């Protein structure tokens, strides 16, 4: 109980220790202040909570099951691997949990226009979906490079009635899509709700997105004892901005016997410099997209282009709470390279009949790496954050196949 | 007395409004920035805003985004910008120079080192778009210690409480962002500015400059009538983009002279 009182972040100004905060242009400060006020007003409101729970159950299809990946575990001969099946959610990833929560808030704030950034397209699809569900106008910003990589998701968003705006500036990926969404928000600040897709950005987003995603860890904490009579020895999740990871991790922070492992995108390897792993690579602290976090940058403070096989992890920063958990030593962060993620993708397809998202494949790859070093009575819970349908083209191309 | 205050005091005596052009350091080339700065002063600029390019200019429209990309491609860095100011100061000891940009390049250098270097090379003010007052404690402390003015933005969405907060911290002048949008936007609304300014003046005793969306002599004149200084950015940066290396100083001077004439009618 005592430690519970000790871990209580963010503080009232949105800081997680030295991280987080509200680094935004003045025009948007009143908007994020309003968002904080409204969120705090509804977060414990019984009616809001009931509506959120209803949508998660009847629209998203929660609770998502925990699945024992028996054949994969047997093949590795070590710890048992369990999967939290966020891939079975409506729209195919954890992103919908947060999109629903924010859309319900937007509805209460009277905003009829929503915008979003997207990398892999899963958050864009989730936002387009809830916008259709609640009758809102929806604009999604997506890097031109990602539009190429994730063509199927672009089509899905359009089917759902969203406008997809290609972003040609900078590295033409997720960070540039964020820049463009922020430019839209500053221009249409009064009419528009920015449904931000990960546990980063200016306060209150890191806290709010975490809260909406915590349904993952809260369910797992009930499901694991039902399945194996206890909590797992470790919880493992991939980290882009960090929303699926914090959703699983947060409810486990006080469970000191549960190890917490975040898996970043190692790209071509940390040493190559072509990666998206700020925590593992010991990147310097910096400020981007409204928060102070560990950030991949050059010595002059310019943001460096990142690389990952998975568009959803291809981002130079990471949410502020992960930065704090790293510094506190409560969570450990590691990197998995492109080829290791691909091998894990194949393994899950062949051993379990589950096609994972390339993002989630990073978390699976780490479990595959450490399971053989552990005894058979140990249990690893991996967040299977999304399904791999969107990645068919990428994987086929890498295998030299044209679809 | 600071160069910024001296400049605004003098203008006030002359009953004139300040003309504050913005250019991005390193655009169109590293060699042309200092000549452009001198050209701006000769054409009638009172204060220079020198943009420090950043890889992710979230508050900027396409024109200044492109300028930042060009400058970074030429290898422009915060260190390089400070060196340019030092070079400018060898021939101009009086015109105030304000660095404008985003916080991360300064964070990377460290605020203490940055503030010290600013004082050494002759920078007068610093405006970081993404560092609002609540996140500016460090910045403020170090800038103050070295006599550099922290310049803050106010916006159409800013309420009374925040105006008072900025009034306490701001030095030099206050920059009012005339519209909801990015730099270079086309939705300037003069009557909205006119309505907002009395609310600002109630708390802000410093000169108020207005920028974003001022694109020609007519808009410069109209805005100058309402405030103490007119900031022109994207229009000048566009002129730079449309010019050749040979014609750029001349073209920009001509444009700034037109703006000067307009502002002096206010
Ligand atoms: C399936 C999936 N997992 C993970 C991520 C990474 O985001 P986050 O770190 O916020 O969970 C994404 C992002 O697009 C995704 O689509």
Identify the closest residue of chain A to B79 by CA–CA distance.
A300
Taking a C-beta distance cutoff of 8 angstroms, is the pair B26, B71 a contact? yes
Buried/exposed code over B149-185 (b: 16+ C-beta within 10 A; e: otherwise): bbbbbbbbbbeeebbebbbeebbbbbbbbbbbbbbbb
In a 10 Å sphere around its CB, with 0-12 CB exposed, 13-18 middle and 19+ buried, how is residue B73 labelled? Answer: exposed
With b meaning 16 or more CB within 10 Å and e meaning fewer, what string describes A292-305? Answer: bbbbbbeebbbbeb
Which chain B residues contact residue A300 at CB under 8 A? 77-79, 105, 108
Which residues of chain B make contact with A182, given a CB cutoff of 8 A?
58
Q: What is the pLDDT of residues A33-82, one digit of tens each?
A: 999 999 999 999 999 999 999 999 999 999 999 999 999 999 999 999 99
Partner-chain residue, chosen from B104, B108, B134, that has the shortest CB–CB distance to A13: B134
Q: Would you state the structure tokens that stand for residue B145, as one six-digit string? A: 């210690």
Which residues approach ligand 1 with their CB closer than 6 A?
Answer: A 93, 119-120, 122-123, 198, 238-245, 312-313, 357, 359-360, 385-386
* Residue among A170, A190, A287 whose CB faces B55 most closely: A170
Mind listing the domains of chain B with CATH numbers? 3-263 (3.20.20.70)
Counting atoms of ligand 1 from 1, which one is nearest the CA of A120? 14
Question: Cα separation of A314 and A297, whole Å?
Answer: 14
Q: Does the pLDDT at position B140 exceed 70? A: yes
Instruction: Give me the residue from B58, B69, B109 closest to A179, CB to CB.
Output: B58
Which pLDDT value is given to residue A5? 60
Of B72, B78, B130, the CB nearest to A24: B130
**What's the pLDDT score for residue B234?**
97
Task: Supply the pLDDT for residue A210.
Answer: 98
Q: Are A177 and A123 in contact (CB under 8 A)?
A: no
Exposed, middle or buried: residue A169 (CB in 10 Å: 0-12, 13-18, 19+)?
A: buried
Q: Is A164 helix (H, G, I), strand (E, B) or coil?
A: strand
Q: Assess contact for A224 and A251: CB atoms under 8 A.
A: no
In terms of Cα–Cα distance, which of A152, A187, A184 is closest to A167? A184
Of B57, B79, B177, the CB nearest to A26: B177
CB < 8 Å to B104, chain A: 286-288, 295, 297, 301-303
Tokens at residue B199, please?
A: 């609310």
Secondary structure of A88-146 as H, E, C letters: HCHHHECHHHHHHHHHHHHHHCCCCEEEEEECCCHHHHHHHHHHHHHCCEEEEEEEHHH
Ligand 1 atom nearest to A200, measured from its CA? 10
- pLDDT in the model for residue A216: 99
Query: Rounded distance, CA A392 to CA A394, Å?
Result: 6
Cβ neighbours of A287 in B, within 8 Å: 102-104, 107, 130-131
Q: Can you give the pLDDT at residue B254?
A: 98
Tell me what ipTM this predicted complex has: 0.96
Gap from CA of B42 to ligand 1 centroid (Å)? 54
Helix (H) or strand (E) holding A380: strand A379-384
- Calculate ∠ Cα A90-A109-A94, nearest 5°: 20
Give the number of other Cβ atoms within 10 Å of residue B2's Cβ. Answer: 15
CA A359 – ligand 1 centroid, Å: 6
Please report the atom of ligand 1 found closest to the CA of residue A244. Answer: 11
Nearest of A352, A361, A350 to residue A388 by alpha carbon: A361
Please state, in angstroms and as integers, the Cα–Cα distance from residue B42 to each residue in A199, B185, B215, B217, following that order: 50, 28, 20, 18
Q: Which of A310, A317, A365, A382 to mutate to test the pocket of ligand 1 (most atoms within 8 A of CB)?
A: A310
Contacts of B106 in chain A (CB under 8 A): 301
User: Is residue B49 flagged as an active site residue?
Assistant: yes
| Burial tier of A364 (Cβ tally within 10 Å: 0-12, 13-18, 19+) | buried
Taking CA atoms only, the protein residue closest to ligand 1 atom 12 is: A312
Distance B219 CA to ligand 1 centre (A): 46
Q: Phi/psi zone of residue A93: left (φ > 0), alpha (ψ -120 to 50 degrees), beta? A: beta
Is cis: bond before A16, omega within 30 of 0?
A: no
Spans of chain A below 70 pLDDT: 1-5
Query: CB atoms < 10 A from the CB of B186, how many?
Result: 10
Listing DSSP states for B114-161 in one string gives: HHHHHHHHT--EEEETT--GGG-HHHHHHHHHTTPEEPEEE-TT--HH
Our CA angle for B214, B220, B222, nearest 5°, is 110
pLDDT score for A288: 98
- Kindly report whether the global pTM for this prediction surpasses the value 0.95: yes
Residue A8 in tokens: 């209580």
Residue nearest atom 10 in ligand 1 by C-alpha distance = A243
| CA–CA gap between residue A18 and residue A34 (Å, rounded) | 23
Contact between B209 and B20 (Cβ < 8 Å) = yes
pLDDT digits (tens, 9 = 90+) for B61-70: 999 999 999 9
Given a contact cutoff of 8 angstroms between Cβ atoms, the answer to whether A318 and A279 are in contact is yes
pLDDT for position A149: 81
CB contact under 8 A, B56 and A170: yes
Q: Is the dihedral of CA B155, B160, B165, B169 positive or negative?
A: positive
User: Which residue from B minimizes the CA distance to A22?
Assistant: B135
d(CA B28, CA B6): 31
Give residue for tokens 């549960």.
Answer: A258
**Residue A304 carries which DSSP code?**
P
* Min distance A304 CA to chain B CA atoms (Å): 8
Per-residue pLDDT at A3: 47
Q: What are phi and psi for residue A67, nearest 5 degrees?
A: -120, 135
Q: Looking at the complex, report in whole angstroms how far the Cα of residue A10 sits from the nearest Cα belonging to chain B.
A: 15
How much is the pLDDT for A314?
Answer: 94
Structural tokens at position A233: 């020895």
Q: What is the pLDDT of residue A403?
A: 85
Cβ contact, residue pair A25, B152, below 8 Å: no
Ligand 1 centre and the CA of A118: distance in Å?
10
Distance A310 CA to ligand 1 centre (A): 9
- Catalytic residue ranges of A: 95, 117, 385
CA distance linking residue A314 with residue A294, whole number of Å: 15
Which among B27, B46, B49, B124 is annotated as catalytic? Answer: B49
What lies within 8 Å, CB to CB, of B247 at 6+ separation is none
SS3 B189: coil
């Amino acid at each position: 109980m005592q430690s519970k009182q000790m871990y209580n972040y963010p503080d009232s100004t949105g800081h997680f220790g030295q991280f987080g905060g509200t680094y935004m242009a003045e025009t948007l400060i009143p908007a994020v202040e309003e968002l904080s006020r409204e969120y705090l007003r509804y977060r414990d409101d019984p009616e809001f909570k009931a509506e959120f729970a209803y949508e998660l159950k009847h629209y998203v299809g929660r609770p998502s099951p925990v699945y024992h990946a028996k054949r994969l575990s047997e093949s590795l001969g070590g710890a048992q691997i369990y999967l939290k099946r966020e891939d079975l959610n409506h729209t195919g990833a954890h992103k919908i949990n947060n999109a629903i929560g924010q859309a319900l808030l937007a509805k209460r704030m009277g905003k009829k226009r929503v915008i979003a950034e997207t990398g892999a397209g899963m958050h864009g699809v989730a936002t387009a979906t809830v916008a259709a569900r609640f009758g809102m106008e929806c604009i999604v910003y997506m890097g031109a490079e990602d539009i190429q990589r994730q063509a199927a998701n672009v089509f899905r968003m359009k089917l759902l009635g969203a406008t997809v705006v290609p972003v040609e500036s900078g590295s033409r990926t997720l960070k540039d899509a964020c820049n463009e969404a922020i430019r839209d928000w500053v221009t249409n600040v009064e009419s528009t709700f920015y449904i931000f897709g990960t546990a980063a950005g200016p306060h209150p987003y890191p806290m709010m997105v975490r809260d909406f995603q915590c349904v993952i860890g809260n369910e797992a904490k009930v499901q694991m004892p039902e399945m194996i009579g206890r909590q797992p020895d470790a919880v493992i999740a991939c980290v882009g901005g960090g929303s699926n990871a914090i959703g699983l991790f947060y409810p486990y922070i006080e469970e000191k016997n549960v190890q917490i492992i975040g898996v970043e995108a190692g790209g071509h390897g940390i040493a190559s410099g072509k990666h998206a792993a700020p925590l593992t690579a010991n990147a310097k602290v910096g400020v981007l997209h409204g928060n102070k976090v560990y950030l991949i940058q050059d010595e002059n403070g310019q943001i460096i282009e990142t690389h990952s096989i998975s568009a959803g992890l291809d981002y130079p920063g990471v949410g502020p709470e992960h930065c704090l958990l790293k510094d506190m030593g409560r969570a450990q962060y590691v990197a998995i390279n492109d080829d290791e993620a691909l091998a894990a993708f194949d393994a899950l397809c062949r051993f379990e009949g589950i096609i994972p998202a390339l993002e989630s494949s990073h978390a699976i790859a780490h479990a595959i790496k450490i399971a053989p070093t552990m005894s058979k009575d140990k249990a690893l819970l991996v967040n299977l954050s999304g399904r791999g349908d969107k990645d068919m083209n990428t994987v086929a191309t890498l295998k030299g196949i044209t679809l | 007395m600071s160069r910024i205050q001296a400049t605004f005091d003098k203008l006030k005596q002359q009953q004139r409004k300040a003309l504050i052009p913005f250019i991005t350091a390193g655009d169109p080339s590293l060699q042309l920035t200092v000549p452009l700065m001198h050209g701006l002063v000769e054409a009638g600029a009172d204060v220079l805003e020198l943009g420090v390019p950043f890889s992710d200019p979230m508050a900027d429209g396409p024109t200044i985004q492109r300028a930042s990309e060009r400058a970074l491609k030429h290898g422009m860095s915060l260190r390089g910008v400070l060196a340019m100011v030092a070079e400018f100061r060898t021939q101009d000891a009086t015109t105030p120079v304000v660095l404008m940009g985003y916080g991360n390049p300064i964070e990377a250098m460290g605020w203490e080192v940055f503030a010290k270097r600013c004082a050494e090379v002759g920078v007068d003010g610093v405006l970081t778009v993404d560092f609002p007052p609540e996140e500016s404690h460090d910045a403020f402390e170090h800038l103050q210690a070295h006599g550099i003015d922290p310049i803050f933005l106010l916006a159409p969405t800013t309420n009374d409480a925040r105006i008072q907060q900025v009034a306490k911290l701001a030095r030099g002048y206050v920059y009012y962002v005339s519209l909801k949008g990015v730099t270079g936007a086309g939705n300037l609304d003069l009557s909205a500015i006119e309505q907002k300014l009395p609310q600002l003046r109630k708390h802000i005793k410093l000169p108020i400059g207005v920028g974003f969306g001022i694109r020609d002599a007519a808009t410069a004149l109209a805005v100058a009538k309402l405030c103490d200084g007119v900031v022109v950015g994207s229009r000048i940066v566009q002129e730079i983009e449309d010019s050749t290396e040979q014609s750029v100083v001349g073209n920009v001077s001509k444009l700034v002279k037109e703006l000067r004439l307009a502002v002096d009618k206010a």
